[in-house]
Every structure is written in structure tokens, then in C-alpha cells.
Structure 1
Amino acid sequence: MEFVILPDHPAADGVSARLPEEYRKNTIRHRSGRPWLVGNWSADAAVCVQAGPSKLVLFGAAHTTEPELPALLAKVRTVRELDRIVDRTEGSFHLVASVDGFVRAQGSLSGARELFSTSCAGITVAANRPSALGELRRLTLAEDQLAMHLLAFTPPWPLSERSVWREVDSLPFAHYLSLRPDGTAEPVRWWTPPEPELPVDAAAPEFREALVAAVAARAGTSPAIGADLSGGMDSTSLCFLAAGQGGRLVTVRRRLMDPMNCDDSVADRAAADLPAAEHIVLDKDTASPYYDSVDRDDLATDEPPPFIAVTSHMEDVARIMASHGVTRHLQGHGSDELAATGTAHANAMAQRSLLGSLGMIRAMRARRRWSLATTLRVVRAFPPYAEWLQRSADALLSPPEIESEVGWEPTPRLPSWASREAAALVQETMRDTAATKPQPMSSIPAHHEILRCIRLNGWIIRFANTLGERFGVSFEAPFLDDRVVETALSVRLEDRYVAGRHKPVLAAALRGTVPDYVLDRTTKSHFTMDTYDGRKRNLPRMREICEESRLADLGLIGREGLRRALSGIMPDPMHIGPLEKTMACEAWLRSLPTKIGPKPR
């Protein structure tokens, strides 16, 4: 699904005419008759409402009482007043409205539904994908932002929000885009993180209600719904919630290669407790190996993807779901992040009450084997965000620390194979950004870290959907929905951590609906053996990519450094994450319509 949003301006007709025919299968017009929404979407992908001169369209998984929408819209006099409709609509969606010639366009807090904009013919134009904007003007690669994608984890905020295309602006977090009749536009803040004030007894029912509604937004009107059934607390809980919606449930899971993993036994038991569902299990003989897609050159994505190792597996899931009549597939992304109680959470607790947090900090120190120096860094106040970003730029090329990272975000690190040019670009960009004194997403470091991870998961879902759309399947993550995120952030910090318990808020919310053996889990399996096996199988293909590296052609990595990282059968654990990012960038560069060569020197 692609759509372009145009202001109520005389130039809109000419801009719309520039779009290829496949982008003009659907057209919705302003009251003036000028084109407003132009794109390619199916009838069931959008909810369209009109009340007098105002129009509203919801794209995606939106659950609302449709007869109520016209009444709500009829009361709206300015685009700002649309907040009440946003608050009363469940799910994950794009909202686009035209009110008296003014347009409001927004996506989701997580970025699973994102918007981008550019200028064309003297007006600002927005779209849900940069590729649609690329049909209107020539886009050029921003090498400095591409270099940022080589960092372990993600680029630090707000660099994580920037597009790799120089002419494209991403809509800032928690903002909507206001397009005026004169063709200009500005982002407007519509949401701020709540204060963590709710005790768990009050928050649990609200969290349950929000999560049930999020699942209903996907499953409520579908004859069949798909879901991961990994055995983990997140996806397994979603399966039980989806089973209560009345539609046919189809689950899929991948058996881990590690014989000591504990997820499979829980998944087997859950499957037995969901006898009406159809359960599909992939094993080492039927599941695509990790890194099976490293040499892809057909990734239909507008930015370097967040992962490449499980691309083939995601396509397998989409293909299987499509063959079973499923168009929406649930995943548990975001639950771990909403329940996060790492160093940032310990710091927040220490800042509120050092004495009251000592028990938690002692337990975390013992479990993570912190030194006294690390423990002291955890409990003392973090510097202002801009100062932390400046320090991170200065330490960019320092060797990684063995102990836990302590700060607003994981410390940015470039891989050993990054070139000096790439290091200089990243360092300069981070310093320039720090000089603008950027504010964090929340003044509470623990909430900033949660929102950073929520944005990362939104990026993952956005990419997954470029894979699933080939099969007519949408990947959905209910834990990333706006109301679910907001409710989770409202919980008191001291109630988010209970020694010996895993995700106590989720457990309290779903007790009685999800079996206790799922909610009381304290263990979690990993894909380490699958990752190492896939790397070993596909090492020859990775080495070929190294010799033909597009990143090396651009001067961003050194082939010799990457060769060393790929030289041994047993990989350096420190290279696993950075290698994933590098290979994802390589696949993306190979998938671009035209080859991008080295920049002029």
C-alpha cells in the first residue's frame, strides 16, 4: 500500500499528474475538488468518513465504532481537535484528515506506521513511503546517514529518525504533519509521555483493556488471524487473546536448534491448550537458515533494513499464512521493551530514592557481575542528553567495554571494518547534532530508552511488512500500539520491577486469561545456535559480498577488515550485531534501482 498526501493548493493537480499510473488507482479529493489522497490501496485497508466539509481516512488496523466517527468528525473545527478521534481509535494506523482546507497527517508512536515528506512544485508533499516521493523528484543518498546505519544497535536519537535520502524528511516522533492551503507544512507535537504514577493494581486493568482492544483491532473483523507461538510470554499471550476473538487462529513457530531451550516445551503445552487453532511448526529441515538472504538484491524497502538474518524466515511465515487464508499476523515485538528494567531503570529508581532502590541494585549487580565502578555509574545522575551525545561522539572509536553500558542509550560503536571516512562522518554528524542541544524523548532516561526500543521495533515491523505485502500479509505488533505504550509508561517505576518475577505488569494484567505457566516464566531462550549455524552455512556467500561490497565502493568500510571478521569459522560474539547491520546495508544497496558509486573526491 502506497499513498501520497497533497495540500489543498492549486499545484496539487500537477503534482498528482506526475505520479505513475499504478500510484493513481485511488484518488480522494479535497472539498475544493483538488486531489488530496492519491495511491494504491485495497478497499478493506482504509476507513473513509465525511462530515460536512471535513474528511477523514484511517489506513491500517484501526478499530473504531464507524457510526460514531461522523458524529465526532462533525464537531471538529481545526485539525488539532482531531486528538479526540485519535484517542478513541484502537490499533495501528495512519490518520489523514482534511478540515477547512487544512490537512493533518500522522502515523503511530512506534513508527510502524510512518510518514515522510519532501517539497515538489513549491509545495510540501507527504507519503507513507519515500519511494512514492521518489516518483516526484530525484532522491540522492546521504552517505553520512548511511554510515550511521553501520553502528551497533541503532543510530542515537534523534539521528535514528533521519532519512538516508537528502531530500526526504521523516515526521518527528510524536508529531503530526500540518499541511496548509498555501502549500507550506510544519510538524506539530500531539503527544508527550505520561508521568509514571499508576500503581500496578490500577494499571493492570487498563493495560489489559488496551491490549485486548489492540488484538481486536486486527482479529475482530477477520475470519482468520495468524500469530507467532514461540512459547515466550509475549507472543504466547497474544495467541490466547486472539483465540478469544472468535475467528480462526493459525499459529506458527520455529523450533530452536538448542536442545536446552525451554521455549518449545511451553509452546507445546500452549498449543494443547488451544485445540481449536491450527498449529504449524517449522524445524531445522523446514525452516530457512539464518542469513539465507544475505545476497538478496530485491528488497523493496526505502531504507537499510534493521535485520537480514531472518528475512527468509519472515517470508516463509507470510507465505504460510497466505496459504491458510490469513491476511494479518500477530507478533510479540515491543513487550520486552515495555517491561525493560535495565540500567536506565535502575538509574531512575536511584534518582528517586537511593535507599529504596538498594535492593534492586544489589540484585542487578549480582546477576550482571558489575564492578563497584560500574555500580556507581548506574546510580549517579546521567548528564544532560546533549552532553551524553557529545561524549559518545568523542568515544566513538574506543574499544567496547566488557561490563554493562551505562547511559541514556547503548554506547554507539562502529565495527572494526568501518573506514576512517565513515568514522569521521559519523563522529562529525553526532557532534553537530549534539551542538543543537537535542532533547530526549522523555526526561526520564528509563522512558527514553523504552521509547527508543519501541521505535526500533516499529522499524522492524515496517520492514517486515515490505516482505509480507508480496503475499498479501500484514505483520502486526499489538504491544506497539499507542494506547498500549502509553499505559505501560504510566506504571510507577517501583512497580515495574519485582525480584524473581518476569514482566510483572503484563502478568498482572493477563492473569486469568493466559495460563499461569506462561505468565510465571522466569526464563527465556535465545537463537544463538541458530545464528551461528546460519552464519557457518552462508559464510561463503558473505565472503563473496565482501569482495563485491557496495559499502567499500562508497568508501564506508574496508574490505580487509571485513575479511578478517569473516575469516574464522567461530565468530567473535562482538561482531554478530555489527555484521548483521553491515550485511543488511549491503543487501539494501544492491536492491536500489541504480547502482550508487563512490562519491566524487
Structure 2
Amino acid sequence: MKFVVLPDHPAADEVRTRLPDEVRKNTVCHHSGRPWLVGNWSPDAAVCVQAGPSKVALLGAAHTTEQELLANLETVRTVRELDRILERTAGSFHLVASIEGHVRAQGSLSGARELFSAPVAGITVAANRISALAELRRLTLTEEQLVMHLLAFSPPWPLSEHSVWREVDSLPFAHYMSLHPDGTAEPIRWWTPPAPEVPVDVAAPEFRNALVSAVAARVGASPTIGSDLSGGMDSTSLCFLAAEQDCRLVTIRRRLMDPMNCDDSIAGRAAADLPCAEHIVLDQDTASPYYDSPDRDDLAMDEPPPFIAVASHMEDVARMVAARGVTRHLQGDGSDELAATGSTYVNAMARRNLLGCLDLVRATRARRRWSLATTLRAVRAFPPYAEWLHRCSDELLSPPATESEVGWEPAPQLPPWASREATALVRDAIRRTAATGPQPMSSMPTHHEILRCIRLNGGIFRFTNTLAERFDVSFEAPFLDDQVVDTALSVRLADRYVAGRHKPVLAAALRGTVPDYVLDRTTKSHFTMDVYAGRKRNLGKLREMCEESRLADMGFIDREGLRRVLSGIMPDPIHMGPLEKTMACEAWLRSLPAKVGPQAH
């Protein structure tokens, strides 16, 4: 799906004519007759209605009907009143509306459905894909934002929201874009995190209803639904929720190489309890190895991807489920983040009642192997966000340590092969941003950290869907839906953690629908052995990328430093994550059209 949103302005006609034919397959006009929504989408991915001079379109997976949407629209008089449609509609979608010529456009809180804007022909144009804006004007890279993608995890907020393209703005978190008839635009905040005050016995049924509706939003648009069945609590729960719907279910899972892997036995047991579904199992002979194609040059040009190691595997999933009639495929991403009980959770509980949470502090300290000094940092009040951000600029090249995980976010760190120029660019950008006094996504560090991770997952889904759409498949993450996120954040903090239990709120919500052997799991398998084996098998490709590195040619990494990391007999685990980010950035640079190039900072 690709579309642009235009204001009710005379220049909108000119902008539409600049778009290639494949992006102009659908055109919906303002009441004035000028183009409003132009793009390429399938009929089952959009619900569009009109009430007098007002129009609204939901593009994506929306749990509603034309009749329901029309009834809601008929009560709307201003773009602000469209909030009631969001409150009553489950799913993940873009909302685009024209109310008396005033336009409101927005994506999802997670960023899985994102919106970007750029000036074109004297007006502000919005789009769900940067590549659509690139059809309308020339874009140039911003080098300081490009090198941000070398940081472990992601750039710190709000730098994580900035586009690598100089001419493009990302819609700020929790805002909608208001496009005015004079061609100007402004972001307007529409959502704030709820207070965490709902007890679990009240929150659990609400969480269940939100998840059921989220799954129903996908089933309503596709008679055959795909879903991961890893054996973990998240994706496996979605399988059982989907099985309750009136649809055909196709599941897929990948067997891990680790002989201690416990996910596979749980997945096999769950598959047996879902006899009406078709189950696909990938093993070492049928699954693409990790780093199967790190040197590819066909990635979408929107932004550097968050990973490259499993890109081929994601395409395998999309290809295989598409062959069985699947157009929407469920994945469990986001659940871990909503249930997070890390250092920011310890801080939140300690700030409320330190004596009452000593058992939690002791358990977390033992599990994470914190020193006494780190533990004290975790329970004390965190510094103001801008101050914390500025401090991070002095520690970009510090070796990873447990201390770096305590704070508003994991401290941003560059890999040891980052050049002095890259380090200077990142440090200066962080300091300039800190000097503006940025506010966190929530005044509560634990909510800020959850939302940061939710946004990170949203970016992952945008990338994986650029791979899946080649097979006419949409990857879907119900745990990232706005209503699911809002409900999860409203749960009382003390109820989010129960000693010896894993994700107690999710377990309480789905008890009776999902088998106890899934909900009562306390273990979690990992992909480490698969990652190492894939790295070893494709090390030649990685070394070739090092020797031909675009990042090195641009002066952002030290080729010799990266060469040393790739030449080691046994890779250091601390380098695996940063290596993934660097290689993903390399593959993305290879994929840029020749006419697109960097611009000096």
C-alpha cells in the first residue's frame, strides 16, 4: 500500500499529475473536487465513507463496517472530533479525513503505520511511504542522521523520530497532521499515556477484549489468516485467538538449532491442539540461514532497516503463507515490551514505595547482576530527560556494561569501528537536541521505555512489510495496536509483576482460551546458535561488504576495525548487535538509486 494525502488547495492537482501511474490507481477527492487521497491499495485494505462534505478513510486493518463508520462520521463537525472514531475502532490503520476542506491524517502510536511529509509545489504533502514523496521531489541524505543508525538498539528519543532525508519530516509520536486549505500543515497532539491505575482483575478482561478485537480486525479482511507459532506465549496466544474466529488458519514456525530449545515442544503441543489449522514447520534444510543475503541491493529506500540477518527468512514466511491464500499474517511482536519489568519498572516501584518493593529490587539485581552502585542508580530518581540525554553524549564509545541499561533508555553506544567523524556527528546531534530541552514520551520512565520499544517494533514492522508486500502479504502485530497499547499501559504498576510468573496480565486475560501450558511458561528460547551458524556460513559475504563498504567510503566507519571483528575465530557476543546494524545500513546504502546521494552536513 502506498498513498499520498493532499490539502484542499489548487496545487493538489499538479502534485497528483507528478505521481507515476502505479501510485494513482485510486483517487478520492475533497468535496471541492480537488484530489485528496491518491494511492494504490486493495479494496479489502480500506474503508471509506462520506457524509455531506465530510469524508473519512481507514487504510489498513480496521475492525469496522461502512455503516458503523458512516454513523460515527455523521456526528463529526471538526477534525478533533474524529478521536471518537479512533476510540471505537480496533485494529491498525491510517486515518485520513477531510472535514469541510480541513484534513486530518495520522498513523498508529507504534509507528507500524507511519506518516511522513515534505513540501511539494508550495504545499505540504503527506504520505505513508517516503518513496512516494521521492516520486514528487529530489531527496538528499542527512549524514548525521544516517550515522545514528549505527547506534546499538536505536537512536535515543527524539532523534529516533527524525528522518534520514533532509526534506522529509516524520509525524511526531501521538500527533496527527492537520493540513490546512492554504497548503500549510501542523502536528497536533491527540493522545497521552493513561495513568496506570486499573487493577488487574478489571484490566485483564479489557485487555482480552482489545486483543480479540485486534485479531478480528485482521480476520474481517481475509478468509485465510496466517500466524507465527513459535511456542512462545505471544504468537501462540494469537493462534488460539484466531482459531476462535471464522477463518482458515495457517501457522508457521522455525525449529531452532539449540538442543536445549524448549519452544519447539510447546509449539508442537499447541499445533496438536489446533487440528483444524494447517501447520508449516521449517528446519535447517528448508529455512534460510541467518545472514543469507546481507549483500542484497533491493531493499526499499525509505530508511535504513533495523536488521538484515533474518530478511530472507521473513521473505520465506511471506512466500509460503501467500501460496496458501494468506494475505494477513499475525506475529507476536510487542507483547514483551508491553509487559516490561526492567530497570525503569524497578525505578517506578521504588519511587512509590521502596520498602515495599525490596524483593523486586533484590530479584532484579540478581537476575541482571547489578553492582550495588548500579542498584542505587536504579532506585533513585532519574535526572530530567534532557540532562540524561546530554550525559549520554559523553559515553558513546564506552564498552557495554550493566550500568548502561539503567536510565530513561539503554545508553546509546557506537560500535568500536565507528570513525571519529561519525562519533563527532552523533555527539553533536545529541547535544544540540538535549539543549532544546526535549520531553520524554511520558513523564514516567517506565512508560517512556515501553513506548520507545513499541516505536522500535513499529519500525521493524514497516521494514518487514516492504519485504512481505512483494508477495501481497501484510505482516500484522496485534500487540502494537493503539487500543491494546493503551489498555496495557493503564494496568496498575504493582500488578504487572508477580514473582515466578511471566507476563501475568496477559496470562490472566487469556486464561481459558489459551492452554495453561502456554500461559504458565517461565522459560524463553533464543536464536543465538542460529545467528552464529548463519554468520559463519555467510562470513565471506560479510567480509566482501567490509572491503566494499559505502560507510567506509563516506568516512563513517574504520574499515580495518570492522575487518578485525569479522576475522575473529570466535565472534565476541557484544559485537553481534552492532554488526547487524552496520550491515543493515550497508545493504540499504547499496539499494539507493544512483540519483540519490548524501549531502554534506
Shorter-chain TM band? over 0.9
CA contact (8 A) 1:301 1:463 kept: no
Q: What corresponds to 2:395 in structure 1?
A: 395
Is the counterpart of residue 567 in structure 1 residue 567 in structure 2? yes
CA contact (8 A) 1:104 1:176 kept: yes
Q: Secondary structure at the match of 1:186?
A: strand
How many Å apart are 1:366 and its aligned residue?
1.9
Q: Secondary structure at the match of 2:567?
A: coil
Q: What corresponds to 1:380 in structure 2?
A: 380
CA contact (8 A) 1:553 1:597 kept: no
Q: What corresponds to 1:3 in structure 2?
A: 3
1:274-293 equivalences in 2 (<5 Å): 274-293=274-293
CA contact (8 A) 2:123 2:183 kept: yes
CA contact (8 A) 2:140 2:597 kept: no
Q: How many angstroms apart in 1 are the aligned matches of 2:509 and 2:326?
A: 28
Q: What corresponds to 1:46 in structure 2?
A: 46
Alignment deviations for residues 350-376 of structure 1 (CA, whole Å, 9 cap, x no partner) = 001111111110111122222111111
Is the counterpart of residue 64 in structure 1 residue 57 in structure 2? no
CA contact (8 A) 2:60 2:93 kept: yes
Is the counterpart of residue 204 in structure 1 residue 204 in structure 2? yes
Distance 1:474 1:254, change over 3 A: same
Partner AA of 2:444 in structure 1: I
Q: What corresponds to 2:371 in structure 1?
A: 371
Partner AA of 1:562 in structure 2: L
1:30-109 equivalences in 2 (<5 Å): 30-109=30-109
Q: What corresponds to 2:165 in structure 1?
A: 165
How many Å apart are 1:339 and its aligned residue?
0.4
Alignment deviations for residues 223-267 of structure 1 (CA, whole Å, 9 cap, x no partner) = 110000000000000000000002110000000000111100100
Q: What corresponds to 1:506 in structure 2?
A: 506
How many Å apart are 1:562 and its aligned residue?
0.5
CA contact (8 A) 1:553 1:598 kept: no
Q: What corresponds to 1:479 in structure 2?
A: 479
1:333-348 equivalences in 2 (<5 Å): 333-348=333-348
Q: What corresponds to 1:177 in structure 2?
A: 177
Partner AA of 1:381 in structure 2: A
Q: How many angstroms apart in 1 are the aligned matches of 2:378 and 2:69?
A: 48
CA RMSD of the aligned region, Å?
1.1
Q: How many angstroms apart in 2 are the aligned matches of 1:56 and 1:423?
A: 46
Q: Secondary structure at the match of 1:296?
A: coil
CA contact (8 A) 1:554 1:597 kept: no
Q: How many angstroms apart in 2 are the aligned matches of 1:300 and 1:49?
A: 31
Q: Secondary structure at the match of 1:191?
A: coil
Q: What corresponds to 2:126 in structure 1?
A: 126
Q: What corresponds to 2:430 in structure 1?
A: 430
How many Å apart are 1:299 and its aligned residue?
0.8
How many Å apart are 1:65 and its aligned residue?
3.6
Q: How many angstroms apart in 2 are the aligned matches of 1:598 and 1:589?
A: 10
CA contact (8 A) 1:589 1:595 kept: no
Q: How many angstroms apart in 2 are the aligned matches of 1:581 and 1:496?
A: 32
How many Å apart are 1:38 and its aligned residue?
1.0
Q: How many angstroms apart in 1 are the aligned matches of 2:179 and 2:598?
A: 37
How many Å apart are 1:415 and its aligned residue?
0.3
Q: Secondary structure at the match of 1:256?
A: coil
CA contact (8 A) 2:290 2:310 kept: yes
Q: How many angstroms apart in 2 are the aligned matches of 1:286 and 1:384?
A: 50
Q: What corresponds to 2:533 in structure 1?
A: 533
CA contact (8 A) 1:118 1:169 kept: yes
Q: How many angstroms apart in 2 are the aligned matches of 1:596 and 1:62?
A: 36
How many Å apart are 1:301 and its aligned residue?
3.8
Is the counterpart of residue 302 in structure 1 residue 302 in structure 2? yes
Q: What corresponds to 2:19 in structure 1?
A: 19
TM-score, normalised by the number of residues in structure 2:
0.99
Partner AA of 1:518 in structure 2: V
Q: What corresponds to 1:593 in structure 2?
A: 593
Partner AA of 2:118 in structure 1: T
CA contact (8 A) 1:308 1:580 kept: yes
Is the counterpart of residue 440 in structure 1 residue 440 in structure 2? yes
Is the counterpart of residue 546 in structure 1 residue 540 in structure 2? no
Q: Secondary structure at the match of 1:566?
A: helix
Partner AA of 2:196 in structure 1: P
Q: What corresponds to 2:258 in structure 1?
A: 258
Q: How many angstroms apart in 2 are the aligned matches of 1:251 and 1:171?
A: 35
Alignment deviations for residues 525-546 of structure 1 (CA, whole Å, 9 cap, x no partner) = 0000000000000111000000
Q: What corresponds to 1:313 in structure 2?
A: 313
CA contact (8 A) 1:96 1:106 kept: yes
CA contact (8 A) 1:145 1:164 kept: yes
Q: How many angstroms apart in 1 are the aligned matches of 2:69 and 2:600?
A: 54
- Structure 1: which 5+ residue stretches go unaligned? none
Q: How many angstroms apart in 1 are the aligned matches of 2:53 and 2:569?
A: 66
Q: How many angstroms apart in 1 are the aligned matches of 2:111 and 2:462?
A: 8
Q: Secondary structure at the match of 1:67?
A: helix
How many Å apart are 1:401 and its aligned residue?
1.7
CA contact (8 A) 2:143 2:598 kept: no
Distance 1:543 1:596, change over 3 A: farther
How many Å apart are 1:398 and its aligned residue?
2.2
Q: Secondary structure at the match of 1:28?
A: strand
Q: Secondary structure at the match of 1:61?
A: strand
Alignment deviations for residues 85-113 of structure 1 (CA, whole Å, 9 cap, x no partner) = 11111100000000001000000000000
Q: How many angstroms apart in 2 are the aligned matches of 1:136 and 1:31?
A: 24
Q: How many angstroms apart in 1 are the aligned matches of 2:101 and 2:512?
A: 49
Alignment deviations for residues 548-575 of structure 1 (CA, whole Å, 9 cap, x no partner) = 0011111111100110110113111110
How many Å apart are 1:159 and its aligned residue?
0.4
Deviation larger for 10-19 or 310-319: 10-19
How many Å apart are 1:599 and its aligned residue?
5.7
CA contact (8 A) 2:140 2:598 kept: no
Distance 1:260 1:24, change over 3 A: same
Q: Alignment identity in percent?
A: 80
- Structure 2: which 5+ residue stretches go unaligned? none
Is the counterpart of residue 189 in structure 1 residue 161 in structure 2? no
Q: Secondary structure at the match of 2:61?
A: strand
Q: Secondary structure at the match of 1:439?
A: coil
CA contact (8 A) 1:555 1:598 kept: no
